[in-house]
């Protein structure tokens, strides 16, 4: 029995997308009679009907390739049922194009927003399977997402390289790590990179406590300090504010990003020479690590196995050493912050790393 499989990648790019696409396609070709339809630029391509029938050769040589061969775009979930000035009913358009492509199922690779829309389409009657990707590792129900470990490697290397500059010049270096709502990437790279202070969105900080650490290191003749700060980290004062109030407060400070603000505050309080480092999108670019190549491939193959069984409305996940799947309806929109009692936090505290609290 032939199956026509649509594949799209949505949201931000990250290492491992092509490895996952390859895993789905190659396993499907091996397991049953498959046709792969590549949908361009995520849900935008599904809405606008931009797609192509893929050839087997297009899945060759992409295991190590960063980014996505299908292209991606951000199409916010909150706008999916909103009809804008173009008068396009996006949900109807996606369902119509699914039928025009004569798909038996749709495989969506993406993060939280992608999974929300995948669940919406599943509830609308389409056969959908999700694959969890994000460097933030904040998708509920899976131990790890593909892309995360590569980003940890990159962020750790950034911290490693900053160490030499910080030591040479006796500076306090504040490194801003990606992660607006969850601090997984900052926690892991901060621990791996030997940061002295790690600031996470889940643990509001007191700048005076952070200053104490920097000052204590200076007095003990440790000439430099390394701070790994999640872009979504917030002070205890900010944590009490509503989102719009917090955004307004940050706009008033005039600083571009949390690292610049913290560097200036520490310079004023402690009198140290402080610098902000913002590696930005470097953290999600380039070739996937060996770990992510394997994980993405495992996820892709599991998706093909689900297609063979005709099991839809689910997303693939890692649980311990096992590849499993969860219902989209049970994980879509569910946050996955770093728990306060997470073992890695205890490990960091026992190593003397401060969380500024």
Is the domain defined by 3-146+288-331 classed in CATH 3.40.50.12280? no
Which residues make up the CATH 3.40.50.450 domain(s) of the chain? Answer: 3-146+288-331
CATH architecture of 150-284: 3-Layer(aba) Sandwich (3.40)
Whole-angstrom distance, CA of residue 115 vs CA of residue 45: 16
pLDDT of the residue at 255: 76
**C-alpha span between 131 and 126 (Å, rounded):** 16
Specify the pLDDT at position 171: 84
As given in the structure block, the two tokens for residue 235 are 């002070």
Give 114's contacts (C-beta < 8 A, 6+ positions apart): 10, 11, 42, 43, 108, 130
- Asked if 94 contacts 121 with a C-beta cutoff of 8 angstroms, the reply is yes
Which residue ranges does the chain devote to CATH 3.40.50.460? 150-284
Say yes or no to pLDDT of 222 above 80: no
Mark whether 96 is an active-site residue. no
Active-site choice (136, 153, 196, 292): 136
Model pLDDT, residue 244 = 85
Predicted local distance difference test score (pLDDT) of residue 168: 81
The answer to whether 146 and 130 are in contact (CB under 8 A) is: no
Summarize pLDDT for 162-188 with one digit per residue, the tens.
Answer: 988 888 887 899 999 999 999 999 999
**Burial status of residue 161 (CB atoms within 10 A of its CB: 0-12, 13-18, 19 or more):** middle
pTM beyond 0.75, yes or no: yes
The mean pLDDT value of the chain amounts to 93
């Amino acid at each position: 029995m032939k199956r026509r499989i649509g594949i799209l990648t949505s949201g931000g790019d990250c290492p491992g997308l092509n490895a996952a696409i390859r895993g789905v396609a190659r396993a499907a070709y091996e397991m049953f009679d498959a046709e792969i339809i590549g949908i361009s630029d995520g849900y935008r391509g599904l809405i606008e009907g931009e797609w192509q029938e893929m050839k087997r050769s297009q899945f060759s040589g992409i295991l190590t390739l960063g980014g996505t061969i299908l292209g991606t775009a951000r199409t916010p979930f909150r706008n999916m049922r909103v009809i804008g000035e173009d008068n396009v009913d996006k949900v109807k358009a996606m369902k119509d194009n699914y039928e025009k492509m004569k798909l038996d199922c749709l495989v969506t690779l993406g993060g939280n927003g992608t999974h929300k829309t995948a669940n919406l389409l599943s509830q609308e009657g389409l056969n959908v399977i999700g694959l969890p990707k994000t460097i933030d590792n904040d998708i509920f129900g899976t131990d790890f997402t593909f892309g995360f470990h590569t980003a940890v490697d990159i962020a750790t290397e950034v911290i490693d390289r900053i160490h030499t500059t910080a030591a040479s010049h006796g500076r306090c270096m504040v490194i801003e790590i990606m992660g607006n709502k969850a601090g997984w990437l900052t926690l892991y790279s901060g621990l791996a990179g030997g940061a002295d202070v790690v600031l996470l969105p889940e643990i509001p900080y007191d700048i005076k406590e952070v200053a104490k650490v920097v000052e204590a290191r200076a007095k003990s003749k440790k000439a430099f300090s390394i701070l790994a700060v999640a872009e979504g980290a917030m002070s205890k004062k900010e944590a009490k504010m509503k989102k719009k109030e917090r955004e307004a407060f940050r706009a008033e400070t005039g600083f571009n990003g949390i690292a610049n603000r913290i560097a200036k505050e520490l310079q004023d309080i402690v009198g140290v020479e402080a610098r902000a480092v913002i590696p930005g999108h470097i953290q999600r670019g380039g070739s996937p690590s060996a770990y992510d190549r394997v994980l993405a491939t495992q996820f892709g193959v599991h998706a093909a196995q689900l297609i063979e069984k005709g099991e839809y409305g689910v997303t693939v996940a890692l649980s311990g050493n096992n590849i499993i799947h969860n219902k989209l309806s049970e994980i879509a929109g569910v946050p996955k912050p770093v728990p306060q009692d997470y073992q890695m936090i205890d490990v960091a505290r026992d190593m003397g790393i401060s969380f500024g609290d």
